[in-house]
Amino acid sequence: MSHELNEDINEEETCEEETSCYTPIQKLEEFGINASDIKKLTESGFHTVQSVAFSPRKVLLNIKGISEAKVDKIQGEAYKLSPMGFLTATEIQAKRRDNLFITTGSKELDKLLGGGIETGSITEIFGEFRTGKSQICHTLSVACQLPIEYNGAEGRCIYIDTEGTFRPERLVAMAERFGLVGDETLDNVAIARAYNTDHQMNLLVHAAGMMAESRFALLIVDSVTALYRTDFSGRGELAARQMHLAKFLRYLQRLADEFGIAVVITNQVVASVDGAASMFGGDTKKPIGGNIIAHTSTTRLYLRK
C-alpha cells in the first residue's frame, strides 16, 4: 500500500481532512494589514490567522516593529476571521465527530484509548526507562501516514527528539508491517534533535510554519521534560522551569487546536519523596512536571515494567 503525501497547500482556507480549518496569515493583507507587518508576524512564528487570534495581546506587542495601534488592528481583523465565541453543546459534539484516532499498532491499547491517539488533543505517555515510550512514538510516526480507513490520519509527522533515541531503521521495519513503502515513509517524518529548552521551543515555532505549508497529522516530543531537568536545577530555579514548561505546553495546545493535529509527549518519572504511597503499598513514582503537565494533557498513559 503506497500512499503519497507530498502535496502543496495553495488554498486560502485549508481544511485538513475535516479535523481543522485554518486560514493562512497572508489573508490579512486583504483586510488592510501591510505585507511588511505580515512578514514580521511570520518571522515571529505566526503563520495563520488563528495563531494571531489565539495569542495574548502582550505577546504581539513584543514583536519588534509592530506598534500598539497595529496590534489592535491586526488582532481585530483576526478575530473577525476566527470567531471564538460560544457554541452549543450540539455544535461541539458535531466538531468532535470529525476527530480522528491514530492506531498505536496494538488493538488492545487502541481499545483502552477509545480508538487510538486522538487528533486535536495532547496525549502524555509516561513511565520509567525502557517501558516502550519511544517504541510507541516510532510506531505512531508511521501509523499516522495510513489512510483514514486503516485507522491512520493521512498526514506527515513532526518528531522532536530530546534524548537522541530516534532510529529511522525502526520506521522502515514498521512501514513494511503496515504495507507502506519504506523510503516514502521516512520522507514523511520530519525529525529534529533539541539540545536545550530554548532550542526545543524554537523548534516548535518552526514546526508551526511547516504545518501551515503542508499536511501534518502528528507532532511528537520525546521527551518533553528531559532537557528541563538539566537546564534548570534545584528549588531556586523551579519557578522559572515551570513557567518555561507551561509556555511550551500552551504552544503545543495551540498547535493542536489550530491545525487539528494529534500531539504526543513522553515524560519521565521520579520517586515520590513523601513516602505516603510506599507506606500504603501504592506506586512511589510520579511523572515529572507536576500539575502543569497533568492539566494540559487530555489523555495520560502510564507504562510500567
One-character DSSP codes across 151-191: T--S-EEEEEESSS---HHHHHHHHHHHT--HHHHHHTEEE
One-character DSSP codes across 127-160: ESTTSSHHHHHHHHHHHTTS-GGGT--S-EEEEE
pLDDT at 8: 40
Per-residue confidence in pLDDT tens, the chain, 305 aa? 544 454 443 344 455 444 457 899 999 999 999 999 999 999 999 999 999 999 999 999 999 999 999 999 999 999 999 888 898 999 999 888 889 999 999 999 999 999 999 999 999 999 998 899 999 999 999 999 999 999 999 999 999 999 999 999 999 999 999 999 999 999 999 999 999 999 999 999 999 999 999 999 999 999 999 999 999 988 899 999 999 999 999 999 999 999 999 999 999 998 876 655 555 556 778 999 989 999 999 999 999 98
Sign for the pseudo-dihedral over CA of 137, 138, 142, 143: negative
Q: In what order do the strands lie in the sheet with 299-303?
A: 189-193, 156-161, 216-222, 262-267, 122-127, 299-303
Domains of the chain, start order: 14-81 (1.10.150.20), 99-303 (3.40.50.300)
pLDDT at 10: 39
For residue 200, the SS3 value is helix
pLDDT at 242: 95
pLDDT at 241: 95
pLDDT at 214: 92
SS3 content of the chain, % helix, strand, coil (to 5): 50, 15, 35
8 A C-beta contact, residue 121 and residue 82 = no
